[in-house]
Structure 1
Amino acid sequence: MSESDVMKAIENLRHGGGGRRLNVGAALQFVRQSVFASSSGSRGLEGVPQILILLTTKPSTDDMRSPALALKDHKIVSVGVGVGSVNFSDLEMVVFEPGFIYKVVRFSELPSIRSNLVAALNLIKDATESTSDLTVQQDSPQRDIVFLVDGSDETLSGFPYIKSFIKQVVETLNVGENGDQISVVQYSSDPQMHFSFNTYSDLQDILTTVEQLKHKGGGPLNTGAALEYVRTNTFAESSGSRHKEGVPQILILLSGGASQDEVKSIAAALKQDQVVAFCVGTKNSDLLELQTIAHVPSYAFALRQFEDIGRIYKQLVSFVKRVPRQTGSKPRTVFGKLITYLPTLLRQSVSLFSVASHASTQLASWLLSYLPACSFFFC
């Protein structure tokens, strides 16, 4: 099937007929057994990446856990796109990694995530082919890392887990004057620097100070102001930053809620300054906001609560350790009824790939409600 054939097939998609029940679990099982199969044209046995993009709008009415685990067991990398009142835990269960979730408020905003979605798909492809995770550049022996911690009232119960997570990450690093440097800033309505890069060069001093941190409290949560503070004050030579020496400047944002001030412009400024941002947020956070702040959307991790933060620890550390001394081109940031806008998103995405019977990329599409229906298979 050529690219033009795929485009026509997408254009001719018809709505599945609706229904009261949305059986995502059954659809996932159908896709794994019937679409990602050699008989349908799948090239999984040849080592070609198998990628699923799930677009859904509301909670599933059947069990998803077993089908979702089966997809992971079969090395099918799932990306979740949720619209409106979608159940976040459903997406979290399905996606291959926490950073592979995208959420928009309205269907009309689906095309706005196209560039970031395609970037994530290309990262998956590169990772599968290189077998070296999602970043394949040479890592750096030195890093300047800032932990920017939400200290508002929302994070009081999760604060011990936040501190434990920071200590876990720091313990994996090579802390020292000629190695990794650490700074911690806590914020709610305003930021407070607990220590800068040039405060401590001993690992135990950092761990002790983190353990003794007190929750700041208060509100509203002004993440934009905190990001600006970190950019101008923490990532500064006077605070020990080595950015002029080419040392990677890394920000790890831990947020428990949506910002009450504007973040887009400062997020763009951080990227302009080549600060590589990672974001970890809970269910009360704005995922789209976190993906805007993150260096790339897959560097935004979504959790239900900070008690679960330990499960992303290894992946985040892996990403952090692979940040190179020189970053590449600056990524684009995220700005925003299904059958009306889905074809546009699919057509735009398809146009960026090499699609043909023997090309590097093949596509399949299906619709689901009560029962899944395949629109076309790999061919």
Structure 2
Amino acid sequence: ALLTMKATVIATFFGVFLICAYAAKEATKKTKKAKLYVPQIDCDVKAGKIINPEFIAKCPPGCQDVKYRVYGTDIYASFSSVCNAAIHSGIIDNAGGKILVQKVAGHSGYRGSFSNGVRSLSLPRWRESFLVSEGKPRKGVTYPSTLEYSSSKSTAVKTGNGCVNVPTGDAVRKEYQTSPVPTPATQMATTTPTPTTTTTDPSTTTPKPTTTHATTKTTTVAAAAKTRPGLHRVRDIAFRGSSTPASNRNILRPSTGIQRQEPVAAFRRAAGSPAHLAMETDSWRSGLSIFDTGFSSKEDLNPKPLESISQGNPNCKVDLSFLMDGSWSIGKRRFQLQKQFLSNVAQALGIGSAGPLMGIVQYGDDPSTEFNLKTYANSKDLRNAIEKIPQKGGLSNVGKALSFVNKNFFSDANGNRGGAPNVVVVMVDGWPTDRVEEASRLARESGINIFFVTIEAAAESEKQNVIEPNFVDKAVCRTNGFYSINVPSWFSLHKVVQPLVKRVCDTDRLVCSKTCLNSADIGFVIDGSSSVGTGNFRTVLQFVANISKEFEISDTDTRIGAVQYTYEQRLEFSFDKYSTKQDVLSAIKRISYWSGGTSTGAAISYASEQLFSKSKPNKRKIMILITDGRSYDDVRVPAMAAHRNGVIAYSVGVAWAAQDELEAIATDPDKDHSFFVDEFDNLYRFVNQLIQNICTEFNSQPRN
């Protein structure tokens, strides 16, 4: 009996244990958290359109595209595409994936950069920012399975089970929920309301609860984890104005067909909550700048492409070389700022075949070409290439770099277009470590417009270390301030992007493009008197042709005209008659010998009236007179009149020409503007000397 009683007690105890274990297991099932469904967002969704202050979302493939704009680096303006920002930060790649987004306060400035194949842009300020990290939940944080949007547009919210379409209308609200909408079998055990998506039906004034099929009454607890297959249309009383007190508003529960009193606080956010503030700041407010309110809805819906068209900016047709400071003195951080500056300049210029072309030479101990004018034909590719430039290191040998550019960069093989002005912009950290004056002079005489951008120039205590004082004025095209920009700090370099672009594109002021060979109207006044003779006249014409072919001839460069005289004068051809070198040389060859007396004074007056009075205002007026004898009339008065009208006169005498008349005709100083040979066959000796004197005089003009 005792054994029987013990067995009964043991069996009873074991039964109770099994019952308790089973009950605990069932309780664990009931309290098990529902699975988190990660909502999917589209590539064009901006962080500012999502009200949730922190959420996990899934990005689709293919978001790495310039049309999905990103503003900032590491911390992004909420006007940015969420998914493309995640690619820029390296959290995901173009294949997509899960990301964690956290909203933070707005910043006064966002720095653009190129990272992971995405170019982000700079922005002065924005009202809200966000951070992107790996899509793993943080401990103690509950994440929504449906995102809440501030937009009133029709939006598709994607979840793990499908896509739910929300009708268009101001009354539409998409509320996030921590678990899917429970079925009737589980609603009775729910102690807190679950937010739902609601809308107003404009065709009725009474709520329309959706009829629920009878089979839903047998749904088990496990069904609570499933997302509802559709939306139930009910009146959104909680979000529309009403005379009913908030505490007494009737909120319709979907799938039940009954009304129930619910506290509105369960459905509405507090006025001071981050989501509420984000929603309010999305609305337009008068009196705010574009950076306070965001871009217009039209621009938002139809984003403009980031890059300029391949033809480029036709109002800025220049061939541009940047001399980039790669010396060790600049440091890595400032070198990055320099690259960002060059990238911003490339974007602002609008690179293209019909506009500006840009190459970069980096200098340190020695210069080297990073890429030439024809390497990149649009701003996007150019900016990507700039981002990848490594720092050379070494000293700051600017003079050596200028010599390199003058000799090697602006060539046809490197993409130089001839008709576009050549511009060099020299970036200098502090001061050069070699001399720049001579190299700059030679570059200017080659038609290169030199600009200097000096950053953090030498302080008074450092000027003793500068090899060449006033190196900027000795180097730039003109010393009037147009060609030099001094920036006090590398961190304010971005402020001079637009001023620099405006200057290099002002082709009318790029005066160093005008060289001694491409900026003159040259009029030849040729003695055709009987003493010259036919054979010698052909020699004179060859002399004229040899001089002419050394100049760059076109309707916008140097132009050539010719007058032949005896007692009378004849206009052989005017400045605007021929616009190519070949046509000019052919016209010179066709001039026929006239024969007659020698009235040089009258010929000077005729040339002043028929040729130089029609010269262009921006051209240097050069007269080259060739004669073989003394004039029958006075040459002094006509010559002085020509000089007063800005004509630079060169006189070339042969055989019996009078020296005093040659000096009277020539512009002062006489020794540089008058020449004499005893025979016509020796005229060729003065071709180079004459051209050299023309160029020396041109290059000695004041640079202010």
Q: TM-score if structure 2 supplies the norm length?
A: 0.26
Q: TM-score if structure 1 supplies the norm length?
A: 0.47
Q: Which has the larger radius of gyration?
A: 2
Which one has more relative contact order, counting CA pairs under 8 Å at least 6 apart?
1
